[in-house]
Amino acid sequence: MTTITKMPLGKNGPLVSKLGLGCMRMSSVWGGQTNDEHESIATIQAALDNGINFLNTGDFYGSGHNELLVGKAIKGRRDDAFISVKFGAIFYNGQWIGLDLRPIAIKNFINYSLVRLGIDTIDLYQPCRMDSSVPVEDVIGTVADLIKEGKVRHLGVSEITADQLRLANSIHPVTALEIGYSLADRQIESDLLPAAKELGIGVVAFANTAEGLLTGEMKAPLAADDYHLHFSRFQGDNLVKNLEKVEVLKRIAKDKGFTPTQLAIAWVNGQGDHIMPLVSMSRRSRLPENTQAMEIVFSAEEMDALNTHFAPGSILGGTYLQR
């Protein structure tokens, strides 16, 4: 299997694997079924065995189930793993009902996370997104306090604007920005990515296949109970036209001897040494394919063709739910 290289997470930040493992889908998503726990744990451990040390979870994934799962997988090998945890989202019966970013809530959240994970310190701790109910200064200041207490090592942020990123970094150095980024979602290239690079902040890029759109396996119409229908990108004519755009990716992938998913990951990987593709996996069988994607190199012509065909705004609809 491919040897995963390391990258500094931000300027002077910790060394982490250039490929990250997203653990979210190992737990119930959108109220769906939970994956086989034994296979999920084996997948995390196989990832660690192959040099993927960045593990991403959230205290609200499966109402704590995901953290418990990660905790079981890293038991006895804490030093092999770099644990990233998101907080702040409130779910009830599998449905999002809001955010709670109050300092008192954050201090409560982290204690539960530490217990579920079975660790003393979280490597990267980050609000899942910001809202206007609590000042950024209070949210970031609380995490900064947790760093001083030794419960957290590094501050991260997620789904944030460029202005919020600059403000957060002025309060306490931000180590990493977690954000959706793919050939189909390039709007952050105008201001957020340049801001992160200027500030020396690492980028953890999730949704590399745009929630499955770029896998080449999706077909229209979707089943009535498919969770993708939460997003405008997969609704009606939007999906039909978007799948037509994906045909170019499928053709290039076939010509290179890889899958569209591999090319989607490789494109994100190729956007900079400070950018980490965060790939969700729940089965060991996916590891060879996804790690191989990190070795794919595009010619200038191929990269130009992809960037032109998937220019910002070319994909209709989005995958961001306005909460």
Do 24 and 40 touch, CB atoms closer than 8 A? no
Angle between helices 260-269 and 300-309 (to 10 degrees): 100
CA-nearest of 206, 214, 218, 178 to 280 is 206
* 131 torsion bin: left (phi>0), alpha (psi -120 to 50), beta (else): beta
Q: Is 120 exposed, middle or buried (0-12, 13-18, 19+ CB in 10 A)?
A: exposed
Please give the Cα distance from 232 to 230 (Å, whole number). 7
Residues 6+ apart with CB under 8 A from 147: 153, 154, 155, 172
Please give the Cα distance from 7 to 294 (Å, whole number). 13
The token duo for 263 is 């090319």
CA 241 to chain centre: 26
- Does 181 qualify as catalytic in the annotation? no
Do 179 and 170 touch, CB atoms closer than 8 A? no
Do 203 and 181 touch, CB atoms closer than 8 A? yes
Catalytic residue among 61, 125, 181, 227: 61
- The secondary structure of residue 217, as a DSSP letter, is -
Please give the Cα distance from 230 to 169 (Å, whole number). 33
Catalytic residues: 61
